[in-house]
């Protein structure tokens, strides 16, 4: 047992320190560390992802746990923590080596925040997670959970503290180096490292923004797991500790991942983006270029266009200075985090971190009676002694002290030792005594007032405990001043039975057990039908009072007093409590006003009762059915009579009788056993009767022959019963006289044989209204193989089917997915056509038809002379017989110069590029401007019914005629590509420059007004028109000169 006052002064100093540092600007290092590790360590990223999914699933699976009310006050988890104070050699209590009191007060603040009891807390309130300093260290030795480590040998630590970012060039101590220097097993303890500085800042410079701490979420490797924070921030009211613990339990900043005032986080899926919590609106980090504004924002939240919510602005996970809540969504995540392996291990039952390695005695449930007592009087205390440690606790004393405040300093500051209780038993680990009690006298010297009555386990300090300062518990007691205390003793009444309206006499003494005289006072008398006096209420009747004219000295009593009372004449006869009330008018200021009453019992009768002598009798306990009979008045009455027992059943009974004289005095009651025989002979015929269930009213009676040994074999009709379980009841009267007991038996009425039509019924999806019912042949083992009516709509459908194979009951509905393919009469799908087009001219494509090939390999030769020379693009797509197209494929090509026309240039060959079948008929057609007509072989045409049409000696005036081939096999017809007849000549300049010289032209032919002309570069001579030249169009390559001599002309007709 230790002195409990030692930390008071420190608390006061701490409060002063807090006010000094109130303009501090702490921020958190979580975001930078977390994001950096996400990018650099895929294992960490994956672990965070997996944990997120586990959390999501946990919340889904445990809504009853995570949605507890905020007032539940039920701790679900207690997390053991160890505080590594990484000081730099300073004494305990110095700035970087906080005192134990400071550390304990910070932990107490943390717990108040997390159980919702911190003043002003709103939101989710009780998170149901508690934090407790370890009691057993990793070596199973005692610990107070505070590990003080001189870390001045760590590189860079004394000057710079710890680096939150290894790349910041600060040259402080790396995080992992510090943690490796002092770490307790992370699976058993949650590690807190209290450091001098983070990134060269200790949080003491007013107005300076600094990193106050950081913590890793579950999922980080165990060597990094834990919380780092500045020693200067480890104090009550400073939110760094509850904030960082939030990170340790999987909370993000409310603004995550925003990094600036104009950077709104996505909130499309609130459980997946932002802070992963759905009851916090997306908000920006209220920062400009990393400088935080700690004010709580009001007005419109630009991320939602709604007003800012207190759920984000007053949140412990924000940077604001108005923090007072966690939300329910955050509570969900924190409780779910406790299911993750690195947190679950902390709270598992076999973790010994919170189990003291020695005995650990405490006092639980301290009570006392009375709570108010005068000096010198006795009070009884009740309590249990607990052993929360891992070793047995030997017998010991529990001491009792009185203190005017809640700090016990035995023998000092007015604190008074009262007494002790010897706990004469050995307490096993983690056990407690039964409720113990002890009468204790409050010293007469104690001044009136309110006191703490201390219960001190191991009050003589004979038990070796790890923790000595948790032996205490208290109860509040009020010590009164000197006072009288009146009670009634020796209370009697005579007679105890009286008629209404008659007089009775009460006898009593008034006793003063107080410490001073009790002046004259009244003793009041009341009648009550029960033992609770409520004067004037509930039928309680005030009768009279007695004036005690004398002064009753302390601890004395009056002589026996008496008072005649009149019972009210209109009172209902019965038994009553007659109450005696000392100081009935309340004129005496007593120590205890609750002990003034005493009672006596009185029986009150109806005064109208006759003076007739009589007797009354009754059977058994049936007094209510007593029979009264008058008798002649006589001093000596002799009764001899026969009394009917018809109302009684045969068997054992009690006869009760008493007598009354003319003075209404009753004799005692005389009782006798007697046995009533059943002398009624059985009547009737032998029979039995039966019924079903509880329907005895409808029982069936059947006569049988009288027999001493009946063997019944009968078929009973159950037509009136429903299918299912029933009870058959039967009894027998085989001798016609006595019934047997009822014999009952369960039986199951089987359903009637089905009479319906065997059938099955099916429907698709949820369209029960469209169900189809088909009749079956009755069978007890149906194998169905059928094609069912199809349903509409290509795609996934559900077939639902049920059966009634015997015409009786339906089976359950069986459901199966099936996929409906498009309806087509094309079994062997083949490529049907190709369309291709040049450049952007997709609206005028060329068509090529195919048939019969699922896997087509083909070559198309197309006429590209319609295109200008240069780069072009050809695009094509294919269609199958079912009408489905391929993707578009494209390719580029160069439409090169045309250098080799076919001679004679007015002969042409067109090749059909539409294929239907080899047996299809071919018919070439021409369109001269008035529509296509069939061609016939003749002077200018050959092959009009083949794949190749030859045009012979066509006049150039046919320029522009269109040709196509129609293929028809009797079932279908297709058209080939449409070809346009063109004529062109190429200047070769092989002889000279003369336009008019045929030798300079391909095919040795001069162009006319229906012939296109191409002049390419690289020829020996460029053309010169000497007289008159004519052509339909002229196309010249770059660098080509076409000269028209003076007086000459070149007519270009198009």
Partner 1 sequence: MSCSYCCAQIPQFAVVRPDGTTYICPSFDSAYNKAVNGDNIYLPGGNFSLSNPISKSLHIFGAGYNQDSSMATNITTLNSLTIVQGGDGGSIEGVLINRINPNTAGVIFGDNLNQTPFSNYTIKYCYIAGSIRFSMPSSNITIRNNYFGYAYAYGGTSISGAISNSFISNNIIIGSDLSSENPNAYLQVSNNIFFWYTNQGAIAFSFASQSTYQNNIFQTGSVQWFSQNSNFYNNTNGYPSGLGNIYAGTTFELFDGTFITPGPLNPWGWHDYDVHNDYHIKPSSLCKNSGTDGTDRGIYGGTFPWKEGSVPSNPHIYFKQVTQQTNNSGQLQIQFKVRTEN
Of residues 30-59, those binding partner 1 (CB under 8 A): 42, 45-46, 49-54, 56-57
Q: Does 840 bind partner 1 (CB under 8 A)?
A: yes
Site for partner 1 in 541-560 (CB under 8 A): none
Q: Does 300 bind partner 1 (CB under 8 A)?
A: no
Cβ closest to partner 1, residue 23 vs residue 841: 841
Please select the residue that binds partner 1; options are 60, 141, 553, 757, rule is CB under 8 A: 60
Count, residues near partner 1 per rule CB under 8 A: 75
Cβ closest to partner 1, residue 337 vs residue 600: 337
Q: Does 15 bind partner 1 (CB under 8 A)?
A: no
Question: Quick one: how far is CA 1040 from the chain centroid?
Answer: 85
Give whole-number Cα distances, 187 to 80, 122, 138, 525, in Å.
10, 32, 11, 73
| Smallest separation (angstroms) from partner 1 to the CB of 471 | 47
Residues 376, 515: contact at Cβ < 8 Å?
yes
| Smallest separation (angstroms) from partner 1 to the CB of 830 | 6
Q: How far is 550 from 558, CA to CA, in rounded Å?
A: 8
Supply φ then ψ for residue 42, to 5 degrees. Answer: -60, -25
Residues 320, 294: contact at Cβ < 8 Å?
yes
| Smallest separation (angstroms) from partner 1 to the CB of 783 | 16
Please select the residue that binds partner 1; options are 464, 589, 875, 1004, rule is CB under 8 A: 875
Cis omega (within 30 of 0) on the bond before 1012?
no
Q: Does 863 bind partner 1 (CB under 8 A)?
A: yes
Q: Does 873 bind partner 1 (CB under 8 A)?
A: yes
What string marks each residue from 213 to 252 as x (binds partner 1 by CB under 8 A) or -?
----------------------------------------
Cβ closest to partner 1, residue 57 vs residue 555: 57
Token couple for 94: 């110095």
Token couple for 173: 């101590």
Q: Give the HSE-up count for residue 417: Cα atoms under 13 Å, Cβ half-sphere.
A: 11
Cβ closest to partner 1, residue 420 vs residue 862: 862
Cβ closest to partner 1, residue 59 vs residue 347: 59
- The strand pairing partners of 600, in sequence order, are 578
Give kind and range of the element (H or E) at residue 815: strand 814-820
| Smallest separation (angstroms) from partner 1 to the CB of 922 | 22
Q: Does 620 bind partner 1 (CB under 8 A)?
A: no
Site for partner 1 in 799-818 (CB under 8 A): 817-818
| Smallest separation (angstroms) from partner 1 to the CB of 866 | 8
Question: Quick one: how far is CA 1008 from the chain centroid?
Answer: 91
Please select the residue that binds partner 1; options are 791, 865, 993, 1004, rule is CB under 8 A: 865
Cβ closest to partner 1, residue 453 vs residue 916: 916
Q: Give the HSE-up count for residue 580: Cα atoms under 13 Å, Cβ half-sphere.
A: 28
Supply the DSSP symbol for 13: H
Q: Does 972 bind partner 1 (CB under 8 A)?
A: no
| Smallest separation (angstroms) from partner 1 to the CB of 943 | 19
| Smallest separation (angstroms) from partner 1 to the CB of 834 | 8
Q: Does 785 bind partner 1 (CB under 8 A)?
A: no
Tell how strand 472-479 and strand 372-373 pair up: parallel
Cβ closest to partner 1, residue 17 vs residue 864: 864
Shortest CA distance to 400 belongs to which of 447, 365, 468, 452? 452
| Smallest separation (angstroms) from partner 1 to the CB of 804 | 25
Q: How far is 639 from 1038, CA to CA, in rounded Å?
A: 160
Q: Does 723 bind partner 1 (CB under 8 A)?
A: no
Token couple for 355: 């189990």
Q: DSSP assignment of 515-555, as one string?
A: SS-B--EEEEEEEESSS---TTSTT-EEEEEEEE-SPBPTT
Please select the residue that binds partner 1; options are 669, 796, 903, 972, rule is CB under 8 A: 796
Q: How far is 14 from 8, CA to CA, in rounded Å?
A: 10
Cβ closest to partner 1, residue 268 vs residue 683: 268
Q: Does 874 bind partner 1 (CB under 8 A)?
A: yes
Supply the DSSP symbol for 811: P
Q: How far is 359 from 608, CA to CA, in rounded Å?
A: 76
- The strand pairing partners of 968, in sequence order, are 921, 973
Q: How far is 352 from 349, CA to CA, in rounded Å?
A: 8
Site for partner 1 in 877-936 (CB under 8 A): 877-881, 883-896, 898-902
Q: Does 784 bind partner 1 (CB under 8 A)?
A: no
Cβ closest to partner 1, residue 158 vs residue 877: 877
Q: How far is 230 from 212, CA to CA, in rounded Å?
A: 6
Please select the residue that binds partner 1; options are 795, 929, 931, 1038, rule is CB under 8 A: 795
Q: Does 1019 bind partner 1 (CB under 8 A)?
A: no
Token couple for 348: 């598992």
Please select the residue that binds partner 1; options are 18, 273, 382, 666, rule is CB under 8 A: 273
Helix (H, G, I), strand (E, B) or coil at 750: coil
Q: Does 987 bind partner 1 (CB under 8 A)?
A: no
Site for partner 1 in 165-224 (CB under 8 A): none
| Smallest separation (angstroms) from partner 1 to the CB of 206 | 40
Helix (H, G, I), strand (E, B) or coil at 109: helix
Q: Does 263 bind partner 1 (CB under 8 A)?
A: no
| Smallest separation (angstroms) from partner 1 to the CB of 978 | 16
Q: Which stretch binds partner 1 (CB under 8 A): 11-19, 597-605, 791-799, 992-1000?
A: 791-799
| Smallest separation (angstroms) from partner 1 to the CB of 732 | 53
Token couple for 806: 């015997």
Residues 209, 198: contact at Cβ < 8 Å?
no
Under 8 Å CB-to-CB from 589, ≥6 apart: which residues?
483, 484
| Smallest separation (angstroms) from partner 1 to the CB of 802 | 18
Cis omega (within 30 of 0) on the bond before 834?
no
Residues 166, 127: contact at Cβ < 8 Å?
no
Q: How far is 965 from 915, CA to CA, in rounded Å?
A: 10
Cβ closest to partner 1, residue 855 vs residue 930: 855
| Smallest separation (angstroms) from partner 1 to the CB of 51 | 8
Residues 321, 296: contact at Cβ < 8 Å?
yes
| Smallest separation (angstroms) from partner 1 to the CB of 977 | 13
Q: Does 683 bind partner 1 (CB under 8 A)?
A: no
The interaxial angle of helices 8-20 and 100-115, nearest 10 deg, is 70
Cβ closest to partner 1, residue 64 vs residue 861: 861
Q: Does 985 bind partner 1 (CB under 8 A)?
A: no
Number of neighbours of residue 933 by Cβ within 10 angstroms: 10
Query: What are the b/e assignments for 715-751, b being 16+ CB within 10 Å?
Result: eeeeeeeeeeebeebbbbbbeeeeeeeeeeeeeeeee
Q: Does 62 bind partner 1 (CB under 8 A)?
A: no
| Smallest separation (angstroms) from partner 1 to the CB of 970 | 24
Q: Does 827 bind partner 1 (CB under 8 A)?
A: no
Q: Does 635 bind partner 1 (CB under 8 A)?
A: no
Q: Does 372 bind partner 1 (CB under 8 A)?
A: no
| Smallest separation (angstroms) from partner 1 to the CB of 953 | 20
Q: Does 788 bind partner 1 (CB under 8 A)?
A: no
| Smallest separation (angstroms) from partner 1 to the CB of 1033 | 14
Q: How far is 177 from 195, CA to CA, in rounded Å?
A: 13
Q: Which stretch binds partner 1 (CB under 8 A): 325-333, 633-641, 702-710, 876-884?
A: 876-884
Site for partner 1 in 425-444 (CB under 8 A): none
């Amino acid at each position: 047992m230790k002195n409990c006052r030692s930390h008071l002064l420190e608390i006061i100093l701490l409060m002063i320190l807090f006010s000094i540092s109130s303009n501090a600007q702490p921020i958190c290092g979580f975001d930078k560390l977390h994001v950096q590790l996400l990018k650099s360590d895929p294992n960490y990223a994956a672990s965070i992802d997996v944990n997120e999914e586990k959390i999501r699933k946990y919340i889904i699976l445990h809504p009853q746990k995570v949605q507890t009310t905020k007032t539940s006050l039920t701790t679900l988890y207690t997390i053991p923590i160890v505080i590594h104070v990484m000081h730099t050699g300073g004494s305990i209590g110095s700035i970087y080596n906080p005192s134990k009191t400071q550390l304990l007060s910070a932990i107490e603040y943390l717990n108040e925040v997390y159980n919702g009891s911190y003043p002003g807390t709103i939101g989710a309130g009780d998170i149901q997670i508690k934090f407790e300093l370890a009691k057993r260290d990793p070596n199973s030795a005692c610990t107070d959970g505070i590990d003080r480590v001189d870390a001045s040998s760590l590189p860079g630590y004394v000057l710079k503290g710890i680096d939150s970012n290894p790349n910041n060039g600060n040259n402080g101590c790396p995080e992992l180096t510090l943690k490796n220097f002092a770490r307790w097993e992370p699976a058993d303890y949650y590690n807190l490292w209290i450091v001098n500085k983070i990134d060269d800042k200790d949080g003491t410079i007013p107005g300076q923004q600094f990193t106050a701490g950081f913590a890793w979420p579950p999922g980080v490797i165990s060597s990094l797991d834990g919380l780092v924070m500045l020693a200067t921030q480890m104090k009550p009211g400073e939110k760094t500790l509850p904030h960082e613990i939030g990170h340790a339990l999987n909370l993000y900043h409310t603004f995550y991942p925003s990094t600036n005032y104009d950077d709104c986080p996505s909130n499309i899926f609130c459980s997946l983006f932002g802070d992963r919590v759905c009851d916090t609106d997306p908000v920006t980090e209220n920062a400009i270029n990393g400088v935080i504004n700690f004010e709580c924002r009001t007005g419109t939240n630009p991320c939602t266009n709604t007003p800012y919510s207190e759920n984000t602005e007053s949140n412990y996970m924000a940077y604001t200075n108005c923090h007072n809540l966690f939300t329910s969504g955050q509570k969900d995540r924190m409780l779910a985090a406790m299911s993750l392996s690195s947190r679950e291990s902390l709270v598992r039952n076999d973790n010994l971190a919170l189990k003291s390695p020695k005995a650990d005695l405490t006092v639980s449930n301290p009570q006392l009676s009375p709570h108010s007592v005068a000096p010198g009087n006795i009070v009884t205390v009740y309590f249990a002694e607990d052993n929360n440690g891992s070793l047995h606790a030997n017998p010991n004393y529990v001491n009792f002290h009185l203190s005017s405040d809640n700090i016990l300093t035995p023998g000092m500051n007015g604190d008074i030792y009262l007494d002790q209780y010897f706990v004469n038993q050995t307490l096993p680990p983690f056990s407690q005594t039964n409720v113990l009690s002890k009468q204790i006298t409050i010293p007469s010297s104690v001044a009136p007032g309110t006191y703490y009555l201390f219960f001190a386990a191991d009050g003589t300090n004979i038990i070796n405990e790890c923790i000595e300062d948790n032996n205490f518990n208290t109860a509040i007691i009020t010590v009164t001043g000197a006072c009288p205390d009146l009670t009634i003793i020796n209370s009697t009444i005579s007679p105890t039975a009286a008629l209404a309206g008659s007089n009775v006499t009460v006898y009593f003494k008034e006793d003063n057990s107080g410490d001073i005289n009790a002046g004259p006072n009244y003793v009041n008398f009341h009648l009550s039908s029960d033992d609770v006096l409520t004067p004037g209420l509930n039928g309680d009747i005030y009768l009279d009072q007695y004036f005690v004219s004398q002064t009753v000295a302390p601890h004395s009593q009056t002589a026996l007093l008496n008072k005649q009372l009149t019972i009210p004449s209109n009172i209902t006869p019965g038994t009553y409590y007659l109450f005696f009330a000392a100081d009935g008018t309340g004129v005496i200021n007593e120590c205890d006003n609750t002990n003034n009453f005493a009672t006596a019992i009185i029986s009150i009768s109806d005064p109208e009762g006759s003076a007739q002598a009589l007797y009354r009798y009754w059977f058994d306990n049936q007094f209510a059915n007593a029979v009264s009979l008058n008798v002649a008045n006589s001093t000596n009455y002799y009764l001899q009579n026969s009394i009917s027992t018809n109302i009684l059943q045969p068997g054992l009974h009690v006869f009760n009788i008493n007598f009354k004289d003319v003075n209404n005095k009753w004799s005692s009651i005389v009782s006798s056993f007697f046995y009533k025989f059943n002398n009624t002979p059985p009547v009737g015929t032998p029979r039995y009767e039966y019924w079903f269930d509880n329907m005895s009213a409808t029982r069936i009676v059947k006569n049988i022959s009288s027999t001493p040994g009946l063997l019944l074999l009968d078929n009973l009709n159950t037509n009136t019963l429903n299918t299912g379980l029933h009870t058959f009841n039967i009894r027998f009267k085989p001798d016609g006289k006595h019934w047997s007991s009822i014999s009952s038996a369960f039986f199951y009425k089987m359903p009637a044989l089905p009479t319906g039509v065997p059938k099955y019924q099916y429907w698709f999806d949820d369209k029960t209204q469209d169900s189809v019912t088909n009749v079956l042949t009755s069978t007890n083992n149906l194998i169905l193989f059928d094609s069912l009516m199809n349903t509409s709509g290509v795609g996934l459908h559900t077939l639902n089917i049920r059966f009634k194979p015997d015409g009786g009951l339906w089976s359950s509905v069986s459901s199966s997915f099936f996929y409906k393919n498009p309806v087509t009469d094309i079994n062997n799908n083949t490529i049907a056509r190709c369309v291709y087009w040049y450049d952007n001219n997709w609206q005028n494509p060329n068509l090529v038809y195919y048939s019969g090939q699922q896997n087509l390999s083909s070559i198309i030769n197309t006429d590209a002379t319609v295109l200008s020379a240069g780069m072009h693009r050809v695009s094509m797509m294919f269609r199958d017989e079912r009408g489905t197209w391929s993707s578009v494929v494209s390719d580029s090509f160069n439409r090169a110069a045309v250098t080799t026309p076919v001679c004679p240039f007015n002969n042409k060959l067109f090749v059909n590029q539409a294929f239907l079948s080899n047996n299809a008929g071919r018919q070439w057609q021409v369109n001269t401007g008035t529509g296509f007509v069939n061609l016939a072989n003749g002077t200018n045409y050959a092959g009009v019914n083949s794949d190749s049409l030859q045009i012979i000696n066509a006049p150039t005036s046919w320029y522009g005629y269109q040709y196509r081939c129609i293929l028809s096999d009797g079932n279908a017809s297709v058209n080939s590509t449409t070809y346009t007849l063109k004529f062109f000549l190429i200047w070769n300049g092989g002889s000279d420059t003369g336009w008019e010289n045929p030798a300079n032209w391909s095919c040795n032919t001069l162009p006319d007004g229906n012939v296109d002309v191409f002049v390419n570069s690289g020829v020996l001579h460029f053309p010169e028109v000497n007289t008159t030249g004519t052509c339909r169009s002229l196309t010249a390559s770059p660098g080509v000169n076409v000269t028209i001599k003076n007086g000459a002309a070149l007519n270009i007709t198009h």
